[in-house]
Chain A
Amino acid sequence: MTHAVQFSQVSRLFGEVKAVDRVSIDIEDGEFFSMLGPSGSGKTTCLRLIAGFEQPSAGSIRIHGQEAAGLPPYQRDVNTVFQDYALFPHMNVQDNVAYGLKVKGVGKAERIKRADEALSMVALEGYGARKPVQLSGGQRQRVALARALVNRPRVLLLDEPLGALDLKLREQMQSELKKLQRQLGITFIFVTHDQTEALSMSDRVAVFNRGRIEQVDTPRNLYMKPATTFVAEFVGTSNVVRGELAHALSGNPDAFSIRPEHIRFAEGVGASHEVQVSGVLHDIQYQGSATRYEVKLDNGQTLTVSQANDQWLDTGARYQPGQRLTACWAREAMIVLRDAPAEAH
């Protein structure tokens, strides 16, 4: 089986800056693959390298087994959904969608038929005659998607396509994109800085930091078994405990991470297999479905604890700021962290 996209030791330099630094990834055919990272971490540059808008400074990029370095974008079997949608303002929706077919010389009747099919796939039947300026952000997003999919690419690249949408619409588009990807069976490569988005949609996620990949894994493993401090802190919320306290609690000299929702307050629970640490509660944030507690430990470090607001056990009202508490967690919930490679040098 060939990989949809294969990076081996790919670097992209902008002057002195290593935007992408010796990255190797294998993206399987038909998978929903996300590239997650803060801005400037190299994820978008990687996407542009696949699309062909950038050429690698070193290394090789294969798309379905074929070496892509040096190929211009118009000779690659990939299509992109742009962050700003990049719809052609002088063309109506139908002409926008049919553009890829037109430049490849597909006949007029055929391309209109396929453009209308693509528009109905994104639930925009009957919008063909409108100009992009007459559409809402969500509709433009769908046109951009239809315009890419009409070419039946084997790999679809999505560059933070949901970033400009409001929360409700974004959640709706997330599930629609996922459904569409399963239905079409093509590879989706999705760039985002939103970790919830990446976790909820992807088969696998690559976490980028400073031009390098920290970890490539399933969303579950990324969350439960972060390989590095960066991943633990970037994906979800983590309490990263370092130094002496880490050594005392886990026996590991470096650091460990513990998720806020894995911590309980010890009140008569105190089973022997649990790790215990005491401190003073100094802030309570009510967040609706959960309540978040900030506990100042005796060594000065702050521990974040999150507890679900279960209506049968209304825990929220029981604690007061200033109160002394013992926090505890299961030994298995601690994730021992090796130092992040990017921080090692």
Chain B
Amino acid sequence: MGQTFNASAPTQRQSPRRRFSNLLYRRPNLYVSLLLIPPLLWFGAIYLGSLLGLLWQGFYTFDDFSMTVTPDLTLANFGALFNPANFDVIRRTLTMALAVSIASAIVAFPIAYYMARYTTGKTKAFFYIAVMMPMWASYIVKAYAWTLLLAKGGVAQWFVQHLGWGPMLQWLLSVPGIGGSTLSTSHLGRFMVFVYIWLPFMILPIQASLERLPPSLLHASADLGATPRQTFMQVILPLSVPGIAAGSIFTFSLTLGDFIVPQLIGPPGYFIGSMVYAQQGAIGNMPMAAAFTLVPIVLIAVYLAIVKRLGAFDAL
């Protein structure tokens, strides 16, 4: 009787740590800002800041004779992107990125479907490891390995010859635009390596989207009279589109920015990534490299806008 609860009384006996916890509990905004300020500083200053700083250099002037950069602002570098030679690089990279994304989606879907629908426990873990294990190995080693696998007299060719598909390979390699003298120096070979390297980035998002699909929806579809094919087209595929879109954002942007595979496999000729690498490294033309950096950013923004327009994120 007669005891009133005094909120301030126990505070005197509390340790500074306890007092600090209580302060955070009472002021959730302070708590959230303490959580977010370090990553926001990192993201803002180091990530966005340096990116904007790089893009800003795209407006600087590069003197061809003295090979020096002067901070005189110009739009010439961005204009130079539309030179036939540079535009060709952009077109070649964009075509490859689209082709790689489409092929990855087609190859990844059945694997992702099987993982999501038919594996449990240990088999699921096996598939996760099998899909991700190639990512644990060094990327450059894998790319070099592929140059040997696809080379003249390499394993790939040996297989093709033994299967009796030699003439078909010769025909494919003679098609202009995708062919070349051997698989390892053809566009086709480069395409195959890209699909190989980025495939996990496509499988996992599709698998996640299929995993979230309740089995009762498939039962409902069949119950309402849909054949398995109709169920696939009307229910499974539309509901996995967000996963395909997420995966294609990876494959698309990774291909756009890559500079190692185009150097090691395929015919000579720059990709956007290798162009940036050459401009800032060998030539020292930082402004042109910066201008090229803008290209994938713009392409990905356009790509995202199209994907969103198609309703890929509606089901999120």
Contact = CB atoms under 8 A, between A and B. Distances in A.
A90 interface: yes
Interface in B176-229: 214, 216-217, 219-227
Contact of B216 (A78, A86, A103): A86
B314 interface: yes
Most buried by A among B216, B220, B227, B230: B220
Interface in A215-239: none
A84 B218 CA distance: 13
Nearest to A84: B216
B235 interface: yes
Interface string A100-136: 1011100000000000000000000000000000000
Given A99-B234, A103-B234, A86 B225 contact: no
- Highest count of chain A CB atoms <10 Å: which of B223, B225, B238: B223
Contact of A80 (B220, B234, B239): B220
A160 to B, nearest CB: 12
B225 to A, nearest CB: 5
A100 B315 contact: no
A74 B222 contact: yes
Contact of A103 (B219, B230, B239, B314): B230
Interface residues of A, number: 25
A151 interface: yes
Given A80-B219, A82-B220, A90-B315, A104 B214 contact: no
Given A74-B227, A103-B234, A151-B225, A86 B239 contact: no
Contacts of B222: 52-53, 72-74
Interface string A68-109: 000011100011101110111110000000011011100000
B214 A86 contact: yes
A212 interface: no
Contacts of B214: 84, 86
Nearest to B314: A90
A104 B230 CA distance: 10
B315 A86 contact: no
A73 B216 contact: no
A168 to B, nearest CB: 26
A213 interface: no
Given A88-B235, A99-B234, A82 B225 contact: no
Contact of A79 (B216, B223, B235): B223
Contacts of B227: 74, 103
A147 interface: yes
Decide if the interface of chain B is mainly helix, strand, loop or mixed.
helix
A86 B220 contact: yes
Contacts of A87: 220
A91 to B, nearest CB: 8
A51 interface: yes
A329 B221 CA distance: 54
Nearest to A72: B222
Contacts of A100: 224-225
A187 to B, nearest CB: 16
Nearest to B216: A86
B224 A99 contact: yes
A79 B314 contact: no
B57 to A, nearest CB: 45
Given A74-B227, A90-B239, A90-B314, A99 B221 contact: yes
Contacts of A73: 219, 222-223
Contacts of A147: 224
A68 to B, nearest CB: 13
Contact of A74 (B226, B238, B239): B226
A86 B221 CA distance: 9
Contact of B225 (A83, A84, A103): A103
B227 to A, nearest CB: 6
Interface string B278-308: 0000000000000000000000000000000
A52 B222 CA distance: 9
A99 B234 CA distance: 9
Given A74-B227, A100-B225, A86 B219 contact: yes
Contacts of A80: 219-220, 223
A82 B230 CA distance: 20
A51 B225 CA distance: 11
Contacts of A74: 222-227
Contacts of B224: 74, 79, 99-100, 103, 147-148, 151
18 contacts: A51-B223, A52-B222, A52-B223, A73-B222, A73-B223, A74-B226, A74-B227, A80-B219, A80-B220, A86-B217, A86-B219, A89-B239, A90-B238, A99-B226, A103-B230, A103-B234, A147-B224, A148-B223
Which 9 pairs of residues, A with B, have the shortest CB-CB distance? A100-B224, A86-B220, A86-B216, A73-B222, A103-B226, A80-B223, A103-B230, A74-B222, A74-B225
Interface of A: 51-53, 72-74, 78-80, 82-84, 86-90, 99-100, 102-104, 147-148, 151
